[in-house]
């Protein structure tokens, strides 16, 4: 089978790209011909299809008004992406297209090209881009579902993108146009959701029509991870330092647990503020490590006692949980989003109420000295990952989606 894989980034940027590259590897090892379409970037992996990649556009920085307007216009519809994808399809003639992230850099213009060429399309969802203008269902320090029932104007009122009325207004307009003109949802044959939570949340927003979503847990190369069931002398958190990740909740939960050593790896806008809290509260048992290379992160996980994930937003399927379990480390996670699906309470880990300092404080105190339980849960966590997220399991589930898609589209064409 010739499969066209599409993602707006072609380098290891985050969890979505990790899943994208693992998918590519699994398909190629199974004998399939994989064609890729993406955006040009100096950090890209090498590809024989790079001549078809669209030119780079950076939305991270702020430019003058006219430059911002130009970027905004291209983010909605890209003639370049349309033409280059047409050329790639003409040359390669793929059987199926599997999209990951495409909004803004590649734009919905590519979906019409795929539909015009009668190529069946499946998209793996990595966030809430199908229903939320800022993709996260989180704003102003809390979970947000204000845009439900097509009330996308709320994204403008609350400046949900870059804290800017202009950019947020365009995002609101973009979502209204995609609904009215049927530029997105209607041009995807099937969606893949890594978690039941994400699937159910999206279904609840489209009460007018059942969305074709199939749950397939993200792939994880379990065989690359050697578990370590020895107990370290510290608890670990790996996270970006932003409000929604719950770092402050975790730090404050350490105040009445002075005998427990906590290490937090990561960086972000909230790093300095968290450092100030640690100093002002005299938390000598809390160590902020800053940004760590991936190799060092895995070493920290492998040698810790257990891992804490204190997120306060609707997480989908955090990669750090999969990595921790693969290394034989159980996870204490917040009971929000897709996290409870990965953690079987009192079997592969523990759960606490998201954002509740006292509940997290209590769980940390009770768990830390439960040596036998920690080891048993770590072994159970490793077994769970092997059974549900291995390359073999993922390939089996993915091919079933492809076969169903090709069968359905064949019936439509026939």
pLDDT in tens, 112-131: 999 999 999 999 999 999 99
Report the predicted TM-score, pTM, of the whole model to 2 decimal places: 0.92
CA nearest to 94, candidates 39, 52, 46: 52
pLDDT score of 327: 98
| Averaged confidence pLDDT in the chain | 94
Residue 65 reports pLDDT greater than 90: no
Whole-angstrom Cα distance, residue 152 to residue 29?
Answer: 43
CB atoms within 10 A of CB 134: 20
Q: Which domains does the chain have, with CATH numbers?
A: 2-130+184-219+390-413 (3.40.50.2000), 222-388 (3.40.50.2000)
User: With 80 as the cut, is the pLDDT of residue 59 above it?
Assistant: no
Beta strands in 40-130 (DSSP E): 96-99, 121-124
What three-state secondary structure class fits 58? coil
> Looking at residue 389, what is its pLDDT?
96
Task: Tell me the per-residue pLDDT of 83-108, one tens digit each, with 9 for 90 and over.
Answer: 999 999 999 999 999 999 999 999 99
For residue 414, what pLDDT is reported?
Answer: 33
In this prediction, residue 29 has a pLDDT band, given cuts at 50, 70 and 90, of very high
- Tell me the per-residue pLDDT of 259-297, one tens digit each, with 9 for 90 and over: 999 999 999 999 999 999 999 999 999 999 999 999 999
State the pLDDT confidence band at 61, using cuts at 50, 70 and 90.
low
- Distances in Å between the Cα of 286 and the Cα atoms of 235, 252, 281, 397 are 10, 10, 10, 42
Q: How is residue 348 written in tokens?
A: 């592969």
**How do residues 325-365 score in pLDDT, each as one tens digit?**
999 999 999 999 999 999 999 999 999 999 999 999 999 99
| pLDDT on residue 206 | 87
């Amino acid at each position: 089978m010739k499969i066209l894989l599409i993602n707006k980034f072609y380098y290891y940027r985050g969890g979505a790209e990790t899943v994208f590259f693992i998918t590519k590897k699994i398909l190629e090892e199974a004998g399939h011909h994989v064609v890729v379409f993406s955006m040009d970037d100096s950090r890209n992996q090498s590809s024989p299809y790079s001549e078809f990649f669209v030119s780079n556009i950076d939305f991270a920085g702020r430019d003058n008004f006219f430059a911002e307007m130009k970027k905004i216009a291209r983010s909605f519809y890209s003639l370049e992406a349309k033409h280059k994808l047409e050329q790639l399809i003409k040359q390669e003639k793929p059987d199926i297209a599997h999209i990951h992230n495409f909004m803004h850099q590649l734009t919905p213009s590519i979906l019409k090209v795929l539909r015009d060429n009668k190529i069946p399309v499946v998209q793996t969802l990595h966030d809430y881009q199908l229903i939320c203008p800022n993709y996260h269902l989180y704003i102003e320090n809390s979970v947000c579902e204000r845009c439900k029932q097509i009330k996308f104007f709320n994204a403008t009122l609350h400046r949900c993108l870059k804290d800017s009325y202009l950019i947020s207004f365009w995002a609101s307009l973009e979502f209204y146009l995609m609904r009215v003109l049927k530029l997105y949802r209607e041009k995807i044959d099937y969606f893949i959701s890594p978690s039941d939570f994400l699937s159910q949340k999206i279904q609840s927003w489209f009460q007018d029509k059942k969305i074709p979503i199939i749950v397939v847990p993200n792939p994880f190369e379990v065989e690359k991870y050697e578990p370590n069931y020895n107990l370290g002398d510290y608890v670990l958190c790996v996270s970006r330092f932003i409000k929604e990740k719950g770092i402050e909740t975790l730090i404050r939960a350490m105040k009445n647990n002075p005998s427990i050593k906590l290490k937090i790896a990561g960086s972000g806008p909230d790093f300095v503020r968290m450092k100030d809290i640690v100093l002002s509260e005299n938390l000598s048992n809390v160590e902020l490590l800053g940004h760590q290379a991936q190799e060092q992160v895995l070493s920290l996980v492998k040698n810790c006692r257990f891992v804490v994930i204190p997120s306060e937003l609707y997480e989908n399927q955090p990669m750090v949980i999969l990595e921790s379990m693969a290394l034989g480390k159980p996870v204490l996670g917040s009971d929000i989003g897709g996290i409870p699906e990965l953690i079987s309470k009192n079997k592969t880990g523990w759960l606490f109420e998201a954002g509740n300092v006292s509940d997290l404080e209590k769980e940390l105190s009770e768990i830390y000295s439960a040596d036998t339980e920690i080891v048993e849960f770590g072994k159970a966590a490793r077994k769970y990952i092997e059974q549900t997220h291995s390359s073999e399991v993922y390939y089996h589930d993915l091919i079933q989606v492809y076969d169903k898609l090709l069968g359905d589209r064949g019936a439509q064409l026939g």
